[in-house]
Structure 1
Amino acid sequence: MSVPPVRSTRLGLEAPEVREVLSRLHERAQLRDADVMRRAYADAAELSAPPTPAEASALCADALLPVAPHVGRLLYTLVRMLRPHNVVEFGTSFGASAIYLAAALRDNGAGHLTTSELEESKIREAGAGLADAGLADLVTIVPGDARQTLADLPGPVDLVLLDGWKELYLPVLKVLEPSLADHAVIVADNLSMLPEDYTAYVRDPANGYVSLDLPLGDGVELTSRQKAAR
């Protein structure tokens, strides 16, 4: 029988078990990700068509791709401020962003994170990291294509992080829309890489959102749901 980890009485991102796992992930990403992504782009260029989400996931299987530390602190701060009950993430990867989110849920004393990941090896890595950080009980990792796994979630969903395959940000958001709470907050990472259809959609008030860009990491689009889209 496995023994659950002993949680530190020091909360926040400075809790030793949280700080250790986040430091480990960010350090590994610095050493590994540039080379992995260079090879991934080279391999993708040899394909006869743009890679599918499954192909892209396989090409990037060894890349950690964590949110930048300042973006992680934004996520932690938003959860502490908004006190969401249901948080959803698209793109678990190795679990860094899940740790920022779950640490805030733990410190709030309520709430749960559902996060979706296509690559099985990353699911295992993320689960191990969450366990090491003492946060595994606050997170459910659902395997598979987020367009299916995040459909029909019990709502209301209060906070969404989009941090997976960029071309799927808008399809995933539309899958989640029926479950979104009024005034739900959506954080889309890697703004410089986002397709124009995503930013055009969330910046159009007719779709029921108000949105702005933030100069954190590689750019963040921070969006609030104002009313149910018609």
Structure 2
Amino acid sequence: MNTLITPRVAKTLNALHREAETVDRAHIAARMAEITEAGESFAEAVPRWLGEERAAYRTIYHDYAGNFLSVSETYGRFLYMIARTCRAKRIVEFGTSMGISTIYLAAALRDNGGGQLIGSEIEPTKAARARANLETAGLADLVEIREGDALDTLKHVGGEVDLVLLDGAFSLYLPVLKLIEPYLTQGAPILGENAFDPSYLDYVRDPANLYVSQPLPVDEGRGNEFTVRAA
């Protein structure tokens, strides 16, 4: 079974991807213009963005309340494939946004025979939109979206976790991972979308921390990191 190709899910995802592309186009262009005006390369801009985030990530992401900042169709299908491959039953997602990635992961849970996805979204309007999109796709019964700061909402995830998607504030990837770490099953994939924070990369690439990790050549240029809990 492939829930992604059922009419209800496929129609919802197609509409959301088209809307996301339109809505986020101006945001992406503004970011690129900002780099150009500052005379920076992308690599030089990242430390500045991380510093700004650490100082005021709640304010910054409130300003993005109207933006999807979502995964691509290619990456979404990859998420579905990974969740199917590891036969995930419990998934944690940091940064639900409007629910596009959530739909891909929930579809995998459906095809794995059921399970639970715990999502965290700091913006109330995005959380509400994500819930509505999941209802439209017919996958809401598999998902709990916790509204608020992930450092609070993901303190207790209630059991073993088979897969993690990190796709929220870049500077919070490491602290969020450490919250979930005690619950990770052996071999659990951790997918870092836009994993630009050197402290996160240093941590997951250090074998002493019981991970195996490397850059992911899916949507190259977006800083995707693929990590597995080795023990």
User: 2:38 is matched with which residue?
Assistant: none
The total of aligned residue pairs comes to: 213
Identity %: 46
Are residue 35 (structure 1) and residue 8 (structure 2) matched? no
How much has 1:109 moved relative to structure 2? 1.1
Are residue 111 (structure 1) and residue 102 (structure 2) matched? no
SS in structure 2 at match of 1:182: coil
One-letter amino acid matched to 1:195: D
Match of 1:64 among 55, 61, 68: 68
Deviations 1:35-73 (A, max 9, x none): 245568999x9xx99652211221110101110111111
Distance (whole Å) between structure 1 residues aligned to residue 139 and residue 132 of structure 2: 10
SS in structure 1 at match of 2:158: coil
User: 1:86 is matched with which residue?
Assistant: 90
In the alignment, is the contact (CA less than 8 A) between 1:25 and 1:64 conserved in 2?
no
User: 1:224 is matched with which residue?
Assistant: 228
Match of 2:11 among 9, 17, 20: 20
Match of 1:142 among 129, 143, 146: 146
TM-score by length of structure 2 reads: 0.86
User: 2:177 is matched with which residue?
Assistant: 173
In the alignment, is the contact (CA less than 8 A) between 1:37 and 1:60 conserved in 2?
no
How much has 1:91 moved relative to structure 2? 0.2
How much has 1:93 moved relative to structure 2? 0.2
| Compared CA separation, residues 49 and 207, structure 1 to 2 (3 A) | closer
- Structure 1 segment 139-218 matched on structure 2, within 5 A: 139-191=143-195, 194-217=196-219, 218=222
Are residue 52 (structure 1) and residue 56 (structure 2) matched? yes
Identify the structure with the greater helix proportion: 2
SS in structure 1 at match of 2:186: strand
SS in structure 2 at match of 1:116: strand
Deviations 1:174-200 (A, max 9, x none): 111111112211000124xx1111111
User: 1:3 is matched with which residue?
Assistant: none
Moved over 2 A (4+): 36-43, 48-51
Deviations 1:100-147 (A, max 9, x none): 000111111121100000000001110110000000000000011111
In the alignment, is the contact (CA less than 8 A) between 2:53 and 2:169 conserved in 1?
no
In the alignment, is the contact (CA less than 8 A) between 1:99 and 1:130 conserved in 2?
yes
Return 5+ residue gaps in structure 2 as ranges: 35-48
Give the alignment's Cα RMSD to 1 decimal: 2.1
| Compared CA separation, residues 42 and 14, structure 1 to 2 (3 A) | same
Distance (whole Å) between structure 2 residues aligned to residue 27 and residue 139 of structure 1: 23
| Compared CA separation, residues 61 and 49, structure 1 to 2 (3 A) | closer
